[in-house]
Amino acid sequence: MIYSQTELDALAKRYTDAWNSKVPGRVADMHVASSSIIINNGAPSQGHSGITEVAVGFHTDVPDLELRCDGIRGAGSHCIYLWTFTVHHAESGNPLKVEGWEEWELDDDMKITSSLGWFDAEEYARQVAG
């Protein structure tokens, strides 16, 4: 399926809003039930429960998470969602600014069927440490 830029922009807004709602289940609802997410080549988080756990983990580590969409581009059913979040780390209190992206496969209903997420984990750790 080929999606228009208007459709992709609307998807990006819904996804950004889901993260910023601080309701992890809303993030999982952007995915099909069998979807998975892999972050920085880590272990896959499978299905709505696994994706919800990923969102819970981020919201626990950075409870004031404010995600911003930096752009979205598509190629058939594949797209890339670019993001930045600015937060304070829950434990250290240090401010963080993290940039990354997700590579998605979409179904015909524009639900995510798989996601590969990327960010600079070393830079994240450096900012957490101060």
At residue 78, the pLDDT reads 97
Tens place of pLDDT for every residue, the chain, 130 residues?
Answer: 889 999 999 999 999 999 999 999 999 999 999 999 999 999 999 999 999 999 999 999 999 999 999 999 999 999 999 999 999 999 999 999 999 999 999 999 999 999 999 999 999 999 999 9
Which pLDDT belongs to residue 69? 98
CATH of the domain at 43: 3.10.450.50
Largest CA distance in the chain: 45
Distance in angstroms (rounded) separating the CA atoms of residues 42 and 113: 18
> What integer pLDDT is reported at residue 117 of this predicted model?
98
How many domains, in total, are found in the chain?
A: 1
CA distances from 113 to 18, 38, 88, 110 (A): 17, 12, 31, 9
Q: What domain range is 89 assigned to? A: 5-129
The verdict on pTM exceeding 0.85 is yes
| Residue of 74, 39, 72 whose CA lies nearest to 54 | 39
Q: What is the pLDDT of residue 52?
A: 97
Give the 3-state DSSP-derived string for the chain, with helices as H, strands as E and coil as C: CCCCHHHHHHHHHHHHHHHHCCCHHHHHCCECCCCEEEECCCCCEEHHHHHHHHHHHHHHHCCCCEEEEEEEEEECCEEEEEEEEEEECCCCCCEEEEEEEEEEEECCCCCEEEEEEEECHHHHHHHHHC
**Residue 55's pLDDT is what?**
96
Q: What is the pLDDT of residue 1?
A: 80
Return the pLDDT at 107: 97
Contacts of 61 (CB under 8 A, 6+ apart): 89, 90, 91
